[in-house]
Structure 1
Amino acid sequence: MKRYEYMVENIQIQLRNGTNFEDIITEKLNTLGREGWELAGVNGTVYYFKREI
């Protein structure tokens, strides 16, 4: 049986002139993905992640 650990992260990005939300969130999600975290759900600015342990 697979086992998982979970993480809840409130990701808020302050947009300034020239800031691209998609680039910033993509970089953040890719960083977490390299650490083994898989995006499991989103509710507004709250992101839910899981990874197998």
Structure 2
Amino acid sequence: MKQFEYKVEIIQIQLKNGIDFNTAMTEKLNLFGEKGWELSGVHGTVFYFKKEIT
């Protein structure tokens, strides 16, 4: 049976000159993905991630 660990993060994006929201959010989410975290839910600025325990 698969087992998971979970992470809850509040993500607020501050836009800098020339960077739109979608680009900034994509970059932030990709940082979690590179570490093995999979986005499993969102509620406002609260993001829920999970990662399989191997």
Query: Shared fold by TM > 0.5?
Result: yes
Query: SS of the residue aligned with 1:31?
Result: helix
CA offset digits 1:8-53 (Å, max 9, x no partner)? 0000112355331101110011111010000000000000000001
- What's 2:11 paired with? 11
Backbone CA RMSD of aligned residues = 1.1
- What's 1:24 paired with? 24
Show structure 2 runs of 5+ residues with no match: none
Name the TM-score, length of structure 2 as normaliser. Answer: 0.87
Identity, in percent, stands at 64
**Would you identify which runs of 4 or more consecutive aligned residues in structure 1 move more than 6 Å?**
none
Do the aligned partners of 2:10 and 2:47 also contact (CA within 8 Å) in 1?
yes
Distance (Å, rounded) in 1 between the aligned partners of 2:29 and 2:14: 16
Name the TM-score, length of structure 1 as normaliser. Answer: 0.89
Show structure 1 runs of 5+ residues with no match: none
